[in-house]
Structure 1
Amino acid sequence: MSSINWNQGQLITMGQGDTATCTGGLNKGQLYGLFFYNSAGNDASTNVIITGNNSLPPVTVTVPGTTANQGLAAICFVSGDETATIAASVLNNQPGASVQAFIGSVKMPTDTSGINNQNLPLDGQIHQFQKFTRYYSVPASHWYAAQITSNVNTFISVQFTENTATVISVNTSINGIDNVITYYGTQAQPKVKTNTTSLQSYPWNFSGNGSQIVWINADSVQNSQAATISVQSLQGLFAAAKRDDVKAAAGVV
């Protein structure tokens, strides 16, 4: 039973009776995701209690049971507009509990020890996820084409901007993803969009604005290794098409 300083949102391991607290670290105007993995090595689910602003009721996050630390993450979204402090507690009535956790956003974690924290090249090439992967990039102010692909059931990743998040689930099972997504307070849920598909790939377009975008996966080791992301700038394609149009209009072959 211990108190854990979680001010940097870093990857931690919590056991029975432990509480991790991020004191004053959440910024107004930013959205955060608390990512929890069950690392107990058995099939028993673990409940984690989330508290923050005293005017808001606690929220219980159920972290799915798994074996060999291979399960999906449970995610709790929280808005910095409602609380600057957030705490996660594993109660004493859960012997043998073990949960790995970190805070994800465009800001967090500021201590990336144990996190696969990498710049994502916007080159249209396929880049592989790993467990605890945080890709980041600063797209310019034009359009991009993105795609996430996985051949395993219900691969989940989250795209963060400063004050929004999009949960993307590919190859989604009939059970959906509602059982692993929760919200603290009242302001986080309206800022989160969920896109699910039963197909193995999810393509989408987005426009950059010079602000950072972050992509974090929320899946197990083996599932992450079978998943990829690619983002390609469409500006070059548009410029090439425009040049071709100019040449055609001028009668140049």
Structure 2
Amino acid sequence: MRTRPIIGVTLDAEEPGGYSKLPWYALRKNYFSSLAEAGALPMALPHQTELAEAYLDTLDGLLITGGAFDVDPSLYGGGPAHPTVTLKAGRTDFELAVTRGALARNLPVLGICGGQQLLAVALGGTLIQHIPDTVAEALEHEQPNPRDQPGHEIAIAANTLLASIVGKTRMAVNSAHHQAVATPGEGAVVNAVAPDGVVEGVEHAGYRFALGVQWHPEYAVDPADPLIFQAFVQACRG
């Protein structure tokens, strides 16, 4: 019997240029180290959509990571794409397939930043394509200061999975997004909001563990951030 649950971690992908003359996968180390420190065995998942079910046969849980791109608005009835929208179709196709597969198997799922938005779409939710054009007097959600520093606070809804994990009603979070969840999907609920009303987290009580957070807890900006990984890994132990 293995002592560490195997958690699949979705990768980011870039076309040739910069780091490599060939297409490449990459992901910040702190996603993996946060999971390992919480007791998991992280496994990177290349974007082979046809292998999504085979991956899931091996996994005890799924972490959907963030990245500098957006979910195609056509996937949630969002209408024409805003000029700021950047797509990575191959990544999104894979992430939707593996997320829907994980939910169908009731495997624990944690979505971070763009991964939270992807989870909301997988649950039938919708997104705001560009916060500055939609939310009056919005905060600067693409914070100018470094990501290992807080950008703003959030208010956490009572009687939610997130509240039970972090044990408090407010947290300091970092912020690196121009989109946000508009509606969380049928049966899903919003578990946290920013001072300007922008959704900062979603969850669905109909699954063993289906949680999304808009910030990046792998930076541990708030002392409660590691608790999110600990609760996720514990859920993956079954």
TM-score, normalized by the shorter chain, greater than 0.5: no
Q: Which has the higher helix share?
A: 2
Q: Which has the higher strand share?
A: 1
- Give the TM-score normalised by the residue count of structure 1: 0.26
Ranked by relative contact order (alpha carbons within 8 Å, sequence separation 6 or more), the top structure is: 1
- Give the TM-score normalised by the residue count of structure 2: 0.27
Larger gyration radius, structure 1 or structure 2: 1
